[in-house]
Amino acid sequence: MRPSRLTLPALILGASTFLGVAAPTATGVAASVDASQCTNAARWQDAYNKKDATAVAALYTANGIEVTPVGIVAGQAAIKNRVDDFINKLEWKNADISVAKCDVEGRLRWSTGSWKDDTPQGAVGGFWTAIEVKDGDAWKIQNLTFNMTPPPSNK
């Protein structure tokens, strides 16, 4: 079965990420957009830094998913609980999220970038990719995947 036009960019992105190579995108499949157009990253950062886990969870679809370094979190309520735990129990603060690339095709948008945060044990950070869908006039996160980059070796 041939992939639909909407899934092709996600397949290319996934394959290139898995293989660790830059895969060319099909001409005309996706429009590269100025990274500042992907405003959910800034909204996520703002809500998080205000310690508003409810506002962070509202950026996701009802069945949104996070793929985190410690597991998969599914649904707005679970995402709210995860964010609340990071803010209040683990005392993470001062998120700094940057968008490196943003692409849009119709009702599908994906973006990627880096993140940093302060913890009681020191600074942490990594990279992220978000897949969003159009929900009325708003973009909602369907899937957010992020990693935590290990600290440099002391060799």
Task: Give the up-direction half-sphere exposure of residue 100: CA atoms within 13 A in the CB hemisphere.
Answer: 9
Q: What is the reported pTM?
A: 0.75
CATH topology (fold) of 33-146: Nuclear Transport Factor 2; Chain: A, (3.10.450)
pLDDT in tens, 17-47: 333 333 333 344 455 667 777 899 999 999 9
pLDDT in tens, 66-105: 999 999 999 999 999 999 999 989 898 999 999 999 999 9
Residue 122 has a CB neighbour count (10 Å cut-off) of 7
Which among 129, 125, 124 is positioned nearest to 144, based on CA atoms? 129
Question: Cα separation of 131 and 143, whole Å?
Answer: 5
pLDDT for the residue 15: 35
Helices (H), the chain: 8-19, 40-49, 53-57, 76-84
Q: 31 forms bridges with which residues in the sheet? A: 104
* Mean per-residue pLDDT over the chain, rounded: 81
Radius of gyration of the chain (CA): 16
